[in-house]
Structures are given as C-alpha cells and as structure tokens.
Copies of this chain bind each other. A is one copy, B any other.
Amino acid sequence: MNERALLEHIIESTCGTPGVAIGPGDDMAMLDVPGASGNAGLLISVDQVVDGVHVHADTTPWSAIGRKAVARALSDVAAMAGRPLASIVAAVLPPGTSGEQAAELFDSMRLAAEQYRAPIIGGDMAFHHAEVGPLTCSVTVLATPTTNGPVQRSGAMEGDVVCVTGMLGGSFEEGGAGRHLEFEPRIGEAIMLQAILKERLHSMIDLSDGLGTDGMQLLARHAPLQIRINASDIPCNEGVDWRRAVADGEDYELCFCAEGDLPEQVLDCSIARIGMVVKAEEGDERRMVVIDGEQEHDISGAGWEHCS
C-alpha cells in the first residue's frame, strides 16, 4: 500500500471542518479555541514510535525510546514555530514487560516532555496479548502559535531560498551516533527564525522521512513550482553523501522556504542555503531536483517510505 495515497485520501475526506483553522495535512492541526478572543489557536498533532520501525527495542535503552517518542512529536511543534503546551502519551507494551522497563519508558517521556515545557497531562497504557507485540508509543502534543502565527508547510513562493538547519543523513545508522535518539527538536530555533524573518518565512517542515519526501510538502499541491537543490550545498553528516542526506530521514532538522536576507545561524544552529524555488516550465510538474555537476536527479518522494 502507498502511504502517501492513503494519507491524501484521509486529508481530502476530513478537510473543511468549522472551527478548524488548519486541518489534517500539515505538521499540526490548529483549532480555534472556544472562549478565546483574537487569533488564539491551539496547535495539536500526534506522532508514533514503533519498535522495528523507528527504534529497535531489543538493543536500545527504553529511556532513549521514551525520549525519542516525545522529541519526535515536539519536532512537529518546531515545524509550526509553535510553543509547546502539554502532551498526552499512550503506549502498548509487549508481553513480559517488567515494571522497571515500563517505568523507565514513562519516566523518560515525562522528563523529555518537561524539558521542552510540554508536561504530560494524561495517557493510556495497554499490554499486547499476542505472543509477539511490538512496543508502540503515541504522543499527542498541544502547542500555541506565537504572536506571529503558525508557519504552515506549503506556502513556498517562486524565488524563495530553500534552507535546512544542521546536518543531514546517516542518523538512523546501526552503530552510528544515534542521532535519531538524541536530536533536539528545533523549537527555539524555529521561534527565533520566525521572529527574525516574520512574513518572509513562507513555509517550513521538519525532516523525519527525508528531504525528498518531506521537502515536496513545502510546495502547495497544485502549485506549478519546483525546488532546485545544489548537491554541494547540502550539509551532510560525516561519512554520508548527498544521496543519503536527502533519503535517509530521521534527522528532525527544519527545512524552510523564505525570501530576502537570511541569517547564517540561529541560536547555535547553522543554516544552509541549499536551493531555490522556481517556476515549473510549461508542461512540467511540481517536483524536487538535485543538481550534481552536469546531472539533474529527481528526488521527489525520495526518502523513508515507512511501508518498505
């Protein structure tokens, strides 16, 4: 099954709900807050960590799994330039889980949630009955937009510069640096970026599935736009070439489109200008291209399709 096609079915069938300022399809939904005045909105999203997909529970400390589950969900808050408010967690534990393991998982979730000011306010826990039952954590986060409002995914405009924070690729590598377990969601960086760029920051997403898959979301669905990236400008982690940097996923860096002057870093985080948003030529379609010397590579959709 194609994950993207199913997601589009879901997005189409749930759009246009009253009271919903941003519906499914962005990093977070935004709800008009009942009883609130002005442009107050509530951002909300859910993310999951599944053993065998996003982590390997037999070789990874459960404290690292709990931390990742929360950090991954908070990366969506960063992508909207939101401020974390609270989180709600749910887990399905494998048969034979000990009380110590379960406590390790929940304590690490609680600590990570507190660190990013999204305290856990509720949750649910179930146990697999089947002999084999992979550990599954889902984390719902609530956040508020800043006074500058949320930054949506798909507002890239012709002439925008395309940037990424930090370095890409190799984050999920076996025996690697464990970056997919240790990354910091770019919450402060995103808020700072938006404070500097204001309405010049047109669109933003966090890179969980890879630049090729996620980057395409920066272009509105029917916009005749393309993203052209220079291979040599992609900031690659050590030992990783640009092909892996755009496809590996699990980086949780921000990718954004903005116009005009851009800072070279925010807080302690570098910002790399990797490409441009251009108009698609007559008859051509929305796509993402990497230019490597004389060659052009279509990377639209390149990334980490979860249903491999």
A107-132, CB < 8 A from B: 107, 110, 119-132
Main secondary structure of the interface of A (DSSP, over half): mixed
If A31-B85, A144-B34 touch, whether A99 touches B1 (CB-CB below 8 Å) is yes
CB A265 to nearest CB in B, in angstroms, measures: 30
Docked-complex contact A46 and B122, CB < 8 angstroms: yes
| Residue A35 is within 8 A (CB to CB) of chain B in the complex | yes
The number of times this chain is found in the oligomer is 2
Q: Which of B102, B124, B142 contacts A138 (CB 8 A)?
A: B124
Docked-complex contact A98 and B52, CB < 8 angstroms: no
Docked-complex contact B44 and A122, CB < 8 angstroms: yes
Residues on B with beta carbons closer than 8 Å to the beta carbon of A295: none
| Residue A47 is within 8 A (CB to CB) of chain B in the complex | yes
Docked-complex contact B17 and A121, CB < 8 angstroms: yes
| Residue A221 is within 8 A (CB to CB) of chain B in the complex | no
For A88-103 the 0/1 string (1 means CB < 8 A from B) is 1110100001110011
| Residue A213 is within 8 A (CB to CB) of chain B in the complex | no
For A36-76 the 0/1 string (1 means CB < 8 A from B) is 11101010111110111110000000000000000000000
CB A68 to nearest CB in B, in angstroms, measures: 14
Docked-complex contact B125 and A7, CB < 8 angstroms: yes
| Residue A136 is within 8 A (CB to CB) of chain B in the complex | yes
A258-304, CB < 8 A from B: none
For A215-240 the 0/1 string (1 means CB < 8 A from B) is 00000000000000000000000000
Q: Show 8 residue pairs from A and B whose CB-CB distance is below 8 angstroms, ordered by the A residue.
A: A1-B97, A1-B102, A6-B99, A35-B144, A46-B140, A92-B134, A92-B136, A131-B132
